[in-house]
């Protein structure tokens, strides 16, 4: 009982204790390890989450895990950011499992990994675990699992939509209508068909390949891909995709480039000022993979100069993106070419049901000692279990 009283008191006194934590001074309390404590960092869904229970990725609906975990006697802590309390849960209350989503990520830095002495498992409810220092997880034998495949169709559909809205100059056309104007030539001067264009994907994994599949009926001139892992011959043949092994040569052949690889040491800043010079003048770029794969300022400059005709995506180098982030308002010389939205392509209600279920089965496997589905394991105990997060 004493222990629970200490914990209760700790909760009430989070700010004081968290300050202790930062200054590194010993707290007056010895914090006990709670049995199988699970910490989830989700996002505040507000009114929408109260009205729509299928918004499972929110604090309010907590991936549908709260009652289930509670019924089994586990401690479940839900926070909306890596705040003082969640740091406390990781460092002093010794949470064993951390659940995060990529949409409103809880960033798990090496510093935090080093302090989270009891952490054994990180679950990404979704796909893409770059918000976790994966090399630190390897070093500290913390496993990192994703719900692989859970939202890949959702993203692939968004990519195709984004390609179309850029190529067809949709956003300025819609804005014109809302303004009450009607000047067809202002829109048509920069609107094209996707048919006959060359489209290439950087990364031809689950999402990249699904994008290629969905583009087949558009009769593009050619579909290309750049990936250190070649597609199986039958898969490449099925979509008639040609692999280009040199990135500069690849981008120089594309009218549209779509980015579909994970963010890791080898892809951070991959699309930078130097690479953008090799793009076809006036190409369109769609990135729903991770914001930091594209250099923020280089992209804004390329759009402003017309080197790019358009940039669209839902991922940002920092999330939530600051109000003055240049990608919110950047435009091409004709005042269009911006298809940016908040990070939601992989979090449709359909996708949320899939990644909530997937997160639960990963957790269930962990808590009951069952083996995990190998395709979900990004970092196993002490090593990477996937080849997708860089060539090592
Ligand atoms: P995947 O593992 O199936 O495929 C990734 C592919 O990228 C692999 O084929 C890999 O070889 C390739 N790759 C890795 N490094 C590369 C490099 N340097 N150059 C070229 N190719 C490289 O993953 P996936 O399911 O297709 O997801 C890809 C990424 O999309 C995720 O890691 C995540 O960052 C992002 N994503 C975004 C959303 C969203 O909501 N916007 C949702 C899901 C996934």
For 346-386, the pLDDT digits (tens) are: 999 999 999 999 999 999 999 999 999 999 999 999 999 99
Cα dihedral: 116, 118, 124, 130 (round 10):
40
The 10s digit of each residue's pLDDT in 109-121 is: 999 999 998 999 9
Tokens found for residue 349: 């209600």
Burial of 304 (0-12, 13-18, 19+ CB in 10 A): middle
Pocket residues for ligand 1 (CB within 6 Å)?
126-128, 151-152, 155, 202-208, 226-229, 260-263, 266-267, 288-290, 314-315, 343, 345-346, 388
More confident residue, 89 or 20: 89
Tokens found for residue 95: 């949470």
Whole-structure pTM value: 0.92
**Statement: residue 31 has pLDDT above 60:** no
Active site amino acids: 151, 290, 319, 343
Phi, psi of 77 (to 5 degrees): -115, 130
Which ligand 1 atom is the nearest neighbour of the CA of 387? 11
**Statement: residue 1 has pLDDT above 70:** no
Q: What share of the chain is helix, strand, coil (3-state, %, to 5)?
A: 40, 15, 45
Which ligand 1 atom is the nearest neighbour of the CA of 208? 26
Judge if ipTM > 0.85. yes
Give the C-alpha distances (Å, rounded to integers) separating 260 from 21, 159, 167, 210, 299: 39, 9, 19, 10, 17
Mean pLDDT, the chain, integer: 92
More confident residue, 74 or 271: 271
The 10s digit of each residue's pLDDT in 155-183 is: 999 999 999 999 999 999 999 999 999 99
Query: Closest Cα to atom 20, ligand 1: which residue?
Result: 227
The pLDDT, as a whole number, for residue 42 is 96
SS3 at position 56: coil
**Statement: residue 34 has pLDDT above 90:** no
Cα dihedral: 192, 193, 198, 199 (round 10):
100
Q: Rounded to the nearest whole angstrom, what is the distance from the C-alpha of residue 132 to the centroid of ligand 1?
A: 15
More confident residue, 87 or 287: 287
The pLDDT, as a whole number, for residue 19 is 38
- pLDDT band of residue 37 (cuts 50, 70, 90) is confident
More confident residue, 104 or 305: 305
The pLDDT, as a whole number, for residue 281 is 98
Give the C-alpha distances (Å, rounded to integers) separating 375 from 109, 285, 384, 385, 386: 24, 29, 12, 9, 8
Q: Rounded to the nearest whole angstrom, what is the distance from the C-alpha of residue 47 to the centroid of ligand 1?
A: 32
- pLDDT band of residue 24 (cuts 50, 70, 90) is very low
Question: Is residue 284 a contact partner of residue 308, using CB atoms and an 8 Å limit?
Answer: yes
**Statement: residue 149 has pLDDT above 70:** yes
The 10s digit of each residue's pLDDT in 212-257 is: 999 999 999 999 999 999 999 999 999 999 999 999 999 999 999 9
- pLDDT band of residue 20 (cuts 50, 70, 90) is very low
């Amino acid at each position: 009982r004493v222990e629970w009283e200490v914990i209760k008191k700790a909760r009430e006194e989070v700010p004081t204790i968290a300050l202790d934590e930062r200054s590194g001074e010993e707290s007056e309390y010895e914090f006990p390890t709670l049995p199988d404590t699970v910490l989830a960092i989700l996002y505040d869904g507000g009114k929408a989450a109260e009205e729509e229970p299928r918004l499972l990725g929110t604090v309010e609906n907590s991936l549908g895990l709260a009652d289930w975990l509670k019924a089994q006697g586990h401690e479940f802590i839900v926070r909306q950011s890596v705040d003082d309390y969640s740091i406390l849960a990781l460092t002093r209350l010794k949470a064993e499992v951390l659940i995060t989503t990529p949409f409103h990520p809880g960033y798990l830095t090496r510093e935090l990994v080093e302090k989270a002495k009891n952490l054994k498992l990180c679950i990404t409810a979704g796909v893409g675990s770059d918000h976790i220092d994966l090399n630190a997880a390897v070093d500290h034998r913390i496993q990192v699992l994703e719900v692989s495949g859970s939202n890949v169709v959702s993203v692939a559909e968004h990519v195709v939509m984004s390609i179309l809205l850029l190529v067809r100059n949709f956003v300025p056309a819609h804005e014109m209508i809302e303004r009450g104007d009607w000047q067809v030539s202002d829109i048509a001067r920069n609107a094209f068909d996707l048919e006959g264009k060359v489209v290439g994907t950087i990364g031809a994994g689950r999402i990249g390949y699904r994008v290629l599949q969905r583009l087949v009926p558009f009769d593009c001139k050619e579909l290309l891909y750049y990936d250190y892992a070649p597609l199986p011959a039958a898969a490449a043949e099925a979509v008639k995709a040609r692999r280009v092994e040199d990135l500069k040569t690849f981008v120089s052949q594309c009218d549209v480039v779509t980015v579909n690889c994970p963010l890791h040491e080898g892809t951070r800043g991959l699309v930078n000022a130097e690479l953008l010079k090799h793009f076809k003048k006036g190409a369109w770029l769609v990135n729903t993979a991770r914001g930091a794969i594209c250099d923020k300022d280089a992209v804004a400059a390329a759009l402003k100069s017309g080197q790019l005709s358009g940039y669209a995506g839902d991922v940002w180098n920092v999330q939530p993106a600051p109000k003055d982030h240049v990608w919110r308002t950047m435009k091409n010389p004709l005042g269009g070419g911006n298809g940016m939205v908040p990070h939601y392509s992989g979090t449709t209600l359909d996708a949320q049901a899939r990644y909530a279920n997937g997160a639960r089965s990963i957790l269930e496997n962990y808590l009951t000692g069952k083996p995990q589905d190998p395709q979900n394991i990004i970092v196993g105990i002490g090593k990477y279990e996937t080849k997708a997060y860089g060539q090592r």
